Amino acid sequence: MTGFIRFADSLSAAFGKVFGWLIILMTLAMSYEVLARYVFNRPTSWSFDVSFIMYGTLFMMGGAYTLSRGGHVRGDFIYRLWPPRVQASIDLVLYVFFFFPGILALVFSGWKYASRSWSYAEVSVNSPAGVPIYQFKSVLVAAGLLLAIQGVAQMCRCILCIREGHWRAPAEDVEEIEELMMKQTSQIVPGTAQEHPDMK
């Protein structure tokens, strides 16, 4: 199970980081649109479509990566007070009865929509540019499959927690700036100028 968890986490991270670059492309595209519209008075016909396609792709393809790092929003004001084994047991039940049915519905419905869209090379009707969107609908299937793989890894985490009595910490490769600043502040020895080596 540990090996599969590592595999799923690595796979989710690879896709999440690759598709994360879409935020740069989206920023450049929107900046160009603002420049063209307000400086040259020549708005583009494709900016709206491109913005929602790139943002939607980024959102969908980052889902498994966020799940692997425990980054999804959850209402845990009661959950966090329970012992780890209780948390894991409840999570395991929720994955089986709620997570996987939803993900399977996403994959099968996404396949239906994507295959139909590919069959006639669907384009967007939101702008005169006729931006192709059939490849965008394929993201539904890809994101669903990634989430399914990561969901199995999360179930493995639950089983290990039930056995061992503690959660295995997810990999950390991204950190909130506030948390990083707090760590750096706490590593300074009070009353001296000495710093932790990691701060240099």
- Say whether pLDDT at 194 is over 50: no
Band (pLDDT 50/70/90 cuts) for residue 196 is: very low
Average pLDDT estimate for 17-46? 88
Band (pLDDT 50/70/90 cuts) for residue 122 is: confident
159: Cβ contacts below 8 Å, ≥ 6 apart: 1, 88, 92
- CA triple 178-72-2, angle to 5 deg: 100
Q: Which of 171, 108, 150 lies closest to 15, judged by CA? A: 150
Enclosing H/E stretch for 177: helix 177-186
Coil, helix or strand for 86? helix
Pick the residue with more confidence: 128 or 36?
36
- Say whether pLDDT at 88 is over 60: yes
- Say whether pLDDT at 155 is over 60: yes
The token pair that represents 74 in the structure block: 């959850």
Number of helices followed by number of strands (H, E) in the chain: 8, 0
- Say whether pLDDT at 5 is over 60: yes
Tell me which of 25-39, 87-101, 122-136 is least confident. 122-136
pLDDT tens digits along 163-172: 998 888 777 7
Residues in the chain: 200
Coil, helix or strand for 190? coil
What pLDDT shows up at residue 192? 47
Average pLDDT estimate for 182-200? 57
Band (pLDDT 50/70/90 cuts) for residue 100 is: very high
Query: Which residue matches tokens 């991270």?
Result: 13
What pLDDT shows up at residue 188? 65
Classify the C-alpha dihedral 149-69-9-19 as positive or negative: positive
Contact 67, 150 (CB under 8 A): yes
Pick the residue with more confidence: 123 or 148?
148
- Say whether pLDDT at 13 is over 50: yes
Please report, for the chain, the start and end positions of each structural domain, with discontinuous segments joined by +. Answer: 2-199
Contact 166, 84 (CB under 8 A): yes
Band (pLDDT 50/70/90 cuts) for residue 156 is: very high
Average pLDDT estimate for 15-29? 90
Q: Which of 156, 152, 136, 177 lies closest to 100, judged by CA? A: 152
- Say whether pLDDT at 9 is over 70: yes
Q: Which of 36, 137, 136, 158 lies closest to 89, judged by CA? A: 158
Contact 32, 44 (CB under 8 A): yes
- Say whether pLDDT at 2 is over 90: no
Where does residue 36 rank: exposed (0-12), middle (13-18), buried (19+ CB within 10 A)? middle
Is pTM beyond 0.85 here? no
